Amino acid sequence: AYDNLESFEPNYGIDLTQCKISDLGDLPVYEDVSYVLSEVEDVTRIIFNDRKIPVMIGGEHSITVGALRNLKDVSMVIIDAHSDFRDSYFDNKYNHACVTRRALEILGPNKIISVGTRSTSLEEITSPDYKNVRFITANEVRESGISNVISEIKNSISDSVYFSIDMDGIDPAYAPGVGTPEPYGLSSVDVRSILTSISDKIIGFDINEMTPLYDNGNTSMLAAKLIQDFIASREKAILNKNIK
């Protein structure tokens, strides 16, 4: 998908070929999720310690947990159709349906905002800890408007944010190539607006749950474009700070 995108981002006046970007390649794929998470933890620790920003692209949303293990005193913003708040799913505490629950255990209460929620189980929503995460539903976004949602996010987060996008948070009309699509989702423009409005605070970023076999190319292209928007908007924000 990236081959079809121009490197120059006119919205920010940034040419990505001039940005300091390094592709570290792919991590090996294993069926043992615990082993994969330990691999992600080790690699992202090196990146964080070098004061660089990891940008991960994945199928499974579970990889987010590996990166979070290196962090403390940070906020987290998630784009996701599902609350992902099960304690275990198919006897696996690191299933993608448990990501927000594991993130809460790592970061603590009132540190996580999940936007786009429109699917949750009775088990999840009745959990006593459910209230320790701010779930902003897709309906709330439509009713209150994206500017109000962004204001709430900005007023709630710290100066360091980990940002995770599950592509099913976006409506299937924009992102059909996902494993668990849910109707009535967020627009691609709304997700971009949230991401770019706080990009200067983001210290880690991932995009997950793309399923190319189910895709017509739109989902992969959108994911690639969101990565470009993140990098370019962050570069622009840092440039503006340095000028001031």
The answer to whether 80 is a known ligand-binding residue is: yes
Is residue 119 a contact partner of residue 81, using CB atoms and an 8 Å limit? yes
d(CA 133, CA 189): 24
Tracing tokens 């099913």 back to the chain, one arrives at 168
Question: Across-strand partners of 204?
Answer: 162
Strand residue runs (E) in 61-210: 75-79, 112-117, 134-137, 161-166, 202-208
Tell me the backbone φ, ψ of residue 144, rounded to 5 degrees: -90, -20
Encode pLDDT of 209-221 as tens digits: 998 888 889 999 9
Helix (H) or strand (E) holding 64: helix 63-68
d(CA 218, CA 59): 16
Tokens of 229: 């928007």
The answer to whether 168 is a known ligand-binding residue is: yes
Strand residue runs (E) in 29-137: 55-57, 75-79, 112-117, 134-137
Tell me the backbone φ, ψ of residue 209, rounded to 5 degrees: 65, 25
Encode pLDDT of 185-207 as tens digits: 999 999 999 999 999 999 999 99
The answer to whether 61 is a known ligand-binding residue is: yes
Query: What distances in angstroms separate CA 227 from CA 93, 124, 213, 221, one per listed residue?
Result: 29, 30, 21, 10
Question: Across-strand partners of 135?
Answer: 114
Is residue 161 a contact partner of residue 195, using CB atoms and an 8 Å limit? no
Encode pLDDT of 57-94 as tens digits: 988 999 999 999 999 999 999 999 999 999 999 999 99
Encode pLDDT of 103-152 as tens digits: 999 999 999 999 999 999 999 999 999 999 999 999 999 999 999 999 99
Question: Across-strand partners of 80?
Answer: none
Q: What is the pLDDT of residue 59?
A: 82
**226: Cβ contacts below 8 Å, ≥ 6 apart:** 165, 191, 192, 195, 207
Q: Domain segments of the chain: what residues?
A: 50-243
- Dihedral, CA of residue 211, residue 212, residue 213 and residue 216, to nearest 10: 120
Assign domain 50-243 to a CATH class: alpha beta
d(CA 35, CA 164): 21
pTM: 0.96
Encode pLDDT of 140-189 as tens digits: 999 999 999 999 999 999 999 999 999 999 999 999 999 999 999 999 99
